[in-house]
Every structure is written in C-alpha cells, then in structure tokens.
Amino acid sequence: MQEQNTQLIQQVFNPEITAQGLAGLRKKYPSNVVYDMSNDEQYKLGTAARTERNKLKAGFKRARIDFNNELVEKEKSLAEEVDKIYAPIIEPMEREEKRRKEEAARIKREKEERLAKERNGINQIRNFISDCQNKDAQYIADTIESVDLIDTSVFSKDLIHEAIEAKEQTLATLMLMLSDAKAREKLAAEQAVMDAQKRLNQLQMYTLDCIGKSAGEIERKLEVLRELPINECDYGDFVAQAADYKTQAVKQLEMMLEQAKQLEAAQPKEPSKPQNIRVQRKEVFVPRKLATYTPIQAWPSDIDRAESPKLDHVCVKLEEAEQCIEMLSMATA
C-alpha cells in the first residue's frame, strides 16, 4: 500500500519534483545548520529560499488540481460507459420499479378513501341515536328496524369489528330509548284520558252552575255552550259522548232559560214586604205555558254524588226546585 501511494505521488507531482529533487533540497538546506539572520548575506539567502519554497508549493497545488480534473473526466467517462453496459437490464427494471411504486401509492390512496367512507358509515350508524332524540315510539321502532337491517359484512377487515360494535351499541341504546318513549306515551295517554274525562264531567255538570241564576246569566251560559267546540283532541275517545252531553245540556239550558224568563215575568216588580215562599208561590200568577216543563232526565250517578258532597248538595236543591215547579204546575191546572 505504501509503495502504491509513493507511485501515485510520483505520478502526480513528478513534473514539479522527484525523489532525487527532494534529496537535493535536503542536502542544500541541512536541518543541523543554524543560520544568523542578522547577517545580510544569510538574510538574503533566507528570502530566496522562501520564494523557492512557495513556487514549489504552488506547483504542487497546480499539479493536484490538474490531476483532479483529469480524474473527474476519467470518472465521468467510465460512468457513462458503465451505464451503457447496464442499460438493457437496469432501465426496464427501473421502469417497473416506478410502476410498482405508483401502483402501491394508488392502492394505498384507494384504501384510505375506502376506510374514510366506511368510517363515515359507522358514524352514520351512531347518528341514529341523536336522530331519535325527542321522537315518538313508532319512529324509534322504525329506526331500530332500519339499523337491524344494516349489513356489517360489507365493511373491510380493518373496520368490520368497529362496525359490528357500533351497530350493537346503537341498537342497545335505541331499545332503551324505545322503552322510555313507550312509558312517556303511556303516561301521556293516561293523562289525556283523565283530562278528557274531566272535560266530559265539566260538560255534564255545566247546567248545575245555572241553577238559581237569572235569565240573563243563563242566556250567556247558553251562548258560551253553543260556541263550545267538541273535538277529538280535547275529548279523545269520548268525543261522541261529549257531543251528546253538549246537546242535552243545550236543551236543558234552553228549558231553564224559558222557565227563568217565565218566573221573572210572574214576580211582582215592587213587593210590599218579604213573604213566605210558599205563600208567595200561591199568590203569583203563573202562565199556563209553565205546565209544559219537562223534568231533567240526565242526573249525576249515585257514585258521583257520593264522591262529591258539593255535587250531591246541588242535586238536592235541584230536586227541591223541580218539586216547586211541579207544585206551581199543579196550581195552574
């Protein structure tokens, strides 16, 4: 190796200096000589030696650069020749390599797009839960049926387990929501029935509020009753019964209005002093038309009267009033 390096050095720097030239320089400038630079002759000898040295070093550098340029050109020429030799096998291999890289990139891109689409499908499965918020039981039941029909086998192996889990969790949550919705709707239906029954009872007892009222008050009550709408949203399954009750109540109020007008017309305008009701009824002139009064037929049931003392008291007073009417009718016969 040392011999090869020496040969290379001689090849590069031979034009500038040889081994014999170096030996001559060592002889010319021995290392054991001590120079006195205060001597003008020796000082001049030193400056001349420096100039000689610098020229030699510049020649070395110039030789190295020239050799490097020649070496680069040689390397370039050899590389081009080698490329030509290997081209028949390497160029088609590199084209195939490029094709394979592009194909791999395409497969990766399509896989990412497919996975993104499948993840969106999984999110849509989960979104059924938020979509069913505040919906009725039928809507939730239909949604459960739709979710149950989703085929998770179409998902790729990378996401099929996530899709199956999302479907199972969604169905479980929707079943709980369906149970809650049914419970709420049952309570709402029961409350609607109670409200309808309450309105029905109020309609049935409507005429009781008019007992003892003046003809003007009864007439106003009658007008309100006539304008009262009977619809299914208020009475539900009792709408037909409510319509019957309204018809009966209107007839009863019409009769009560007629009777109240007759009684008011029969009463003296300026009574001299308070009189006993029985005596006054004997002295009052009652028109013949009063004899056509028809007693009330739709009385509250005994159970309703037993449950409501106030209602029972009103019924008792109404019975007494009918007895008085009957007595007045007999008095005019």
Least confident of 93-107, 201-215, 236-250, 262-276: 262-276
List Cα–Cα distances, 108 to 56, 111, 214, 285, 320, in angstroms: 64, 5, 92, 109, 97
> d(Cα 188, Cα 185) in Å, to the nearest integer?
5
Residues 249-273: what's their mean pLDDT?
A: 78
Contact 286, 332 (CB under 8 A): yes
Share of the chain above pLDDT 70, in %: 83
pLDDT beyond 90 at 211: no
Helix 40-131 × helix 160-204 angle, to 10°: 40
63 — pLDDT class (breaks 50, 70, 90): confident
CB atoms within 10 A of CB 249: 23
- Model pLDDT, residue 319: 76
Cα 237 from Cα 317, distance rounded (Å)? 33
pLDDT of residue 215: 85
Q: Regarding predicted confidence, which is higher, 23 or 87?
A: 87
For range 159-171, the mean pLDDT: 95
**Confidence check: pLDDT of 123 > 90:** yes
pLDDT value at residue 97: 95
In sequence order, what DSSP letters do the residues of 171-206 get, joined into one string?
A: HHHHHHHHHHHHHHHHHHHHHHHHHHHHHHHHHHTG
Mean of per-residue pLDDT scores for the chain = 82
**Whole-angstrom distance, CA of residue 230 vs CA of residue 163:** 52
Of the pLDDT bands very low, low, confident and very high (cuts 50, 70, 90), residue 312 is confident
- For the chain, give every domain's residue range: 2-102, 103-191, 205-331
pTM: 0.49
Give the contacts of 290 (CB within 8 A, at least 6 positions apart). Answer: 259, 262, 325, 328, 329, 332
